[in-house]
Amino acid sequence: MKAFVMTMDAMVAVSFMLTAMIMLSAMSLEPSAPRGAYMKEMTLDLLSVIEKSGTLGNLMDGNSTGIRSLLEATPDQVCMSVYIANSTGQTIAVIPKNGCGALGSEVQVASRHFVYYGQLYMLKAESWRKEGVG
């Protein structure tokens, strides 16, 4: 009987160790991101960089070079467009990434509001995968 208890105790300990190893290995593997999460993250990152780099002020002054450079720095398979709209919703600027066609089937959109010389504006970015590329 004593041998049976020791065997059961050893089996329980081994099963706990195997469970722990499986859980640790599952955590160490990179989880697969939901479809579109990468594009959403790229879109949000683009808006943050535009705000923090000063290119937003340049765009409002009529110079879109900085934003165009940021768009061209994104991966080839990513298409993006940046929009500026005034407080009434009228689009006053659209800057698309070169070489991108129409919107894809899964478009990620992010927007932020900002104030420029006392006027409220909206900065919006859209991203999608380029058709026929990776």
- How large is the average pLDDT for residues 53-68? 89
Answer whether residue 98 shows pLDDT above 50: yes
Answer whether residue 106 shows pLDDT above 50: yes
109-131 pLDDT tens trace:
999 999 999 999 999 999 988 87
pTM over 0.95: no
Answer whether residue 133 shows pLDDT above 70: no
Q: Percent of the chain scored above 90 by pLDDT? A: 39
Residue 15 near residue 78, CB atoms below 8 Å: no
CA dihedral 103, 104, 106, 108 (to 10 degrees): -40
DSSP for 48-73 reads: HHHHHHSHHHHHHTT--HHHHHHHHT
Residue 93 near residue 58, CB atoms below 8 Å: no
Q: What is the pLDDT of residue 121?
A: 95
Say which amino acid occupies 126: E
Cα Rg for the chain, rounded, in angstroms?
25
Q: Where does the chain have alpha helices with state H?
A: 2-28, 37-53, 55-60, 65-72
Answer whether residue 104 shows pLDDT above 80: no
Under the banding of pLDDT at 50, 70 and 90, the label for residue 54 is confident
Q: What is the pLDDT of residue 25?
A: 59
13-47 pLDDT tens trace:
667 666 766 665 555 544 555 667 888 888 999 99
